Copies of this chain bind each other. A is one copy, B any other.
Amino acid sequence: MRARRLIWPEQSVAPGFPLICEGWVAATATLQNGRRQIVSFLLPGDVVSTKLLFHPHIDFRMEAITDVTCRIFDRAELRALLFAQPGLFDTFASAWTEEKSQAEQLAVDLGRRGAEERVARLILNLMRRLEKRGLVGRSPIRFDFPLRQYHIADATGLTTVYVNGILTAFRDAGLIELSERSLVVKDLGGLKRAASD
């Protein structure tokens, strides 16, 4: 699927159990007044949502940030496999747990953290998730970062204008470099400190 395209609209029915192979996807909620909140980013290797195994209903607008390829499994088939293989079920349970934990952490961040903390934590979270996939380069710490500033704003509950100020502050403080859809963490300790983490 092409970048910046809607993959699935809100309240639609998923065609099966999709897994992201390449690219980044945003799961976005839209309110009446037009405000948007990104509930999660899906990275390569991520399942769209574990709940789709049992409820084919998509809760959020799914939007391709980059070009995306995904593979769609058959629900019934996969479900049968899950019950047949004990180890596979545990893997699935872990993914499930991880999803919920991410959502709860997001709520805590949005409820009780300041703007800089939120942005710093978003960057660090994405970094950690990409690290598990071997998608982060070491010395310097570098990874693909296709998010626009409005993605960051929608994910952190801020405005693009304010996010922009925070990013330039981070740059000026020598914490990160960000250009060409690529992010370099120049001062990991400093960034973690900004994230209170």
A-side residues, CB < 8 A to B, are: 29, 31-33, 35-37, 39, 51, 54-55, 59-60, 83, 90, 93-94, 96-97, 99-101, 103-104, 106-108, 110-113, 156-157, 196
Given A107-B107, A110-B157, does the pair A33, B196 have CB atoms closer than 8 Å? yes
* A107 interface neighbour in B32, B39, B96, Cβ under 8 Å: B39
- The residue that A157 contacts in the complex, of B54, B93, B94, B112, with Cβ under 8 A, is B112
Asked whether A54 lies within 8 Å of B100 as measured between CB atoms, the reply is no
A104 close to B101 (CB less than 8 A): no
On chain B, the residues within 8 Å of A60 by CB distance are 104
Chain B residue contacts of A156, Cβ below 8 A = 111
Main secondary structure of the interface of A (DSSP, over half): helix
CA distance A51 to B113 in the complex (A): 26
The residue of chain B having its C-beta at the shortest distance from the C-beta of A101 within the complex is: B59
A111, B104: Cα distance in complex, Å: 13
A100 touching B196 in the complex, CB below 8 Å, given contacts A29-B108, A37-B107, A39-B108: no
Given contacts A54-B90, A55-B97, is CB(A196)–CB(B31) below 8 Å? yes
Chain B residues with Cβ below 8 Å from A37 are: 107-108, 111-112
- For the complex formed, measure the closest distance between the CB of A99 and the CB atoms of chain B, giving whole angstroms: 6
Least Cβ distance of A88 to chain B in Å?
13
